[in-house]
Amino acid sequence: MNQKVGPTILSLMLAVPLAFAGSQDDLARELGNAGLTLGAPIYIRVFKKTSEHVREKPEDLVKGQERFEYKVGGSERWDRNTMGQERKYNSFLGELQVYVRSGDGTYRLFKTYPVGTYTGTFGPKKLKGDGQTPEGFYSVTPNRLKPNSQYHRAFDIGYPNSYDRAHGYTGSLIEVHGTYQSDGCLAMGPAISEIYALSQAALKYGQSSVPVHIFPFPLEADNLARYPAGAVKKFWTSELLAGYEYFEKHRVPPRIEAKKGHYRVADAQPEFPNTDAGLSSPGECLGTVVAY
């Protein structure tokens, strides 16, 4: 039996001043044509590299190799940022997927957006100023939306989460934002308008936090087999793989706990999580990550 998964298009248009009011009717109509609703809960999943890029060149570009152009599009290059720090820039290698909850309770892929730029190599972010884009399980709460960002629109993903802090990782202000400038963030260019609108509407209509799960690539066996054993691969298989596989199997975002320094799949995300769930310290809501 179908269930109501969001507000009506008319009520949303009247009640929610989304980031781009002139395009919200088009967005609502596009979702409606796909059998989805603007304002329904969403799930964001990011891959730093697509499977096509992994097959062409699994390894990261190392220092000393200035640039690599992929036949399937996209590039890697080492360069210095405006502060003179060395950074590895990755252009149009990854993708950001937005899933929307459908009438049967599962999440269906609405749209896939190319990641314009992110920085760093494979693996988690560990230090403030390392220029690394994180990998792991993060979330966006209403207070992390930034409608007036210098990067057009933005939202903070909540790095460092409780897992990161348990490992002593440092840093802050890791965002999904507009433009193609990045120093640890996911720079989406003009696509941020739509991604922000989808996130804002979901949070407005009852979703307490939007899960943002960042993986190096689709964690399928053939992709993982291309990488040698080591600390980074162990992080993928021990910490990230279970969360990836849960969504692949159930098509519902997993609820992730960070317990004793490890990620653990607790269960599915509740349809409209209680805003008090996931508190790791007074006043801090981590959404999908529950700290112990």
Helix (H, G, I), strand (E, B) or coil at 259: strand
Q: Looking at residue 267, what is its pLDDT? A: 75
Residue 271 binned pLDDT confidence (cut-offs 50, 70, 90): low
Q: Helix, strand, or coil here: 97?
A: strand
- pLDDT per residue over 147-160, tens digit each? 999 999 999 999 99
Confidence check: pLDDT of 130 > 90: yes
Please, are residues 9 and 38 in contact by the beta-carbon 8 Å criterion? yes
63 band by pLDDT with thresholds 50, 70 and 90? confident
pLDDT of residue 270: 56
Predicted pLDDT of residue 43: 98
Residue bearing tokens 């399980």: 137
The model's pTM is 0.86
User: E strands along 55-192, which residues?
Assistant: 67-69, 75-80, 86-101, 107-119, 136-140, 145-146, 154-156, 175-177, 186-187
Point out the residues that are catalytic.
177, 185
For 165-214, how does the pLDDT look when each residue is reduced to its tens digit (9 = 90+)? Answer: 999 999 999 999 999 999 999 999 999 999 999 999 999 999 999 999 99
